Every structure is written in C-alpha cells, then in structure tokens.
Amino acid sequence: MLIEKHGSIRLRDISLPSGTTPEQQELAHGMVRVNHLYRSALKVAVAQLEILDDEFATMYEHSPIHHIEYRIKTLDSIAEKLTRQGYEVTIDNIFTHIQDVAGIRVICNYLDDIYYMRRLLTRTESFRITREADYIKNPKDTGYRSLHLILDVPIVISEGTLHLPVEVQLRTIAMDMWASLEHELRYKSDRNFSENDAVRLRLCSDAIGEIDREMQNIYLGEKPEYEV
C-alpha cells in the first residue's frame, strides 16, 4: 500500500503579490523547480519499492513491506530547516544542505525485514547509500528507533542525468506507532509535555523494542529462554 502525504506544486499555481522583488520571483520559481526535481527522484525510488512490493505479494508467502509512505517536504518546512541551521534560504543551499526534501517511510513487519530491505535497495547499481544512521541498534535519547538511509538516486531530465538524495526510513509497525504518538504528544498536543512524560515514552520505546524482538522470534519459531 502506498500513501502520499503531500501533493505537487506547479508554477502556474503560484501567485506573487505586487511589489515582489526579482530575487523573490526567482526564489519562487526555483522552489517549483526544486519540487519537480525531487518529486522525480522520489518517483524513481518509490517505483523500485513498488516493484519489490508487487513481487513479494505475488511470488512469496511473506512480504517484508507492510506499507509505504512518501512525501515531498513543504516549501515552508524547507525554509524553516535552512533558517534553523543558520543558512540563507536559497536554491543552492537547498541542494547543498537539505538531504530529506524527498522522503520515503517503509513500514516493515519484523526487525529482520528492515535489514533485508536495506540489502535489496542497495543491490541495484542505480542507488548508492551516501549516509546511514541506525537508530535501531543505537536508539536516540528520546527512544526513537528507525534505520535512516540517504540514497543517491539518478533521474533523467531534459538537461541530462541528475543525482539527488532521497531519505528512506525503515521501521517496524511498532516503531512507527511509537514515533507517530511521540510526535503527537511532544509537538502537536495542547498539554504540557514534561520530563516525566519523556521518561515514560523512553520506557515505552524499550518495551516496544522487546516486543519487536519477541514477535521476530515467534515468526522464526525460536523457543523463548523461559520455556521449560
């Protein structure tokens, strides 16, 4: 199953107010170009994942993919991230400093499925990992768990072949549930998020890690240590 989070933007959809400077017009048009190029790279990567998903569904009893989500960062989010990192909002800085304009989240069933999907994604000569962060083996202090890959994805456009980064996050269903609710509680909820809440969420993450390992063992038919 494929879920797209955000739609595309088109040049004709942008209405610039009167008094807009030539620099602002150039930035607005450049943002549309950025959206198009990264959406193209996203399509290439998603197409490969869809091919794998279809193969698992038709040829094998087990599919490592539960579902796939993908999105293009909004222009406001791109500008906010550049500003937060201390960079001027320019087209060059987007290409140089933002690695997650195009993002894919692959939700897997089991822990082993995550690393199996990593091997499959890098088996093709088209994709190359340029950055990797394993927050499953080394969770963040918050308890966040996921495998993050930055893939170098080639796209063919009218000017030639261009390589762009696409971020791929691989996580289990349980990890995704925790991450979604943690984000809701920490950033979206009207309630005050306390240090005690953070500690409790970390404990939940540890428990989910144990559940993921146990579900993996059940699937593999491994006997638990406590079995007599």
Band (228; pLDDT cuts 50, 70, 90): very low
What is the number of structural domains in the chain? 1
Domain encompassing residue 99: 2-172
Q: Is residue 212 part of a domain?
A: no
- Residue range 145-167, pLDDT digits in tens: 999 999 999 999 888 999 999 99
Q: Is residue 227 part of a domain?
A: no
- Rounded to whole angstroms, how far apart are CA atoms 145 and 38? 26
- Domain of 155, CATH number, reads 3.30.460.10
Edge-to-edge strands, sheet with 128-134:
2-4, 65-72, 102-108, 160-172, 147-157, 128-134
At 161 the three-state DSSP class reads strand
- Residue range 2-48, pLDDT digits in tens: 555 555 544 444 444 455 565 666 777 788 888 899 999 999 999 99
- Among the listed residues 55, 61, 125, 167, the single catalytic one is 167
Q: Is residue 159 part of a domain?
A: yes
182 is catalytic: no
- Residue range 76-126, pLDDT digits in tens: 889 899 999 999 988 999 999 999 999 999 999 999 999 999 999 888 778
Structural contact between residues 118 and 170, judged by C-beta atoms closer than 8 angstroms? yes
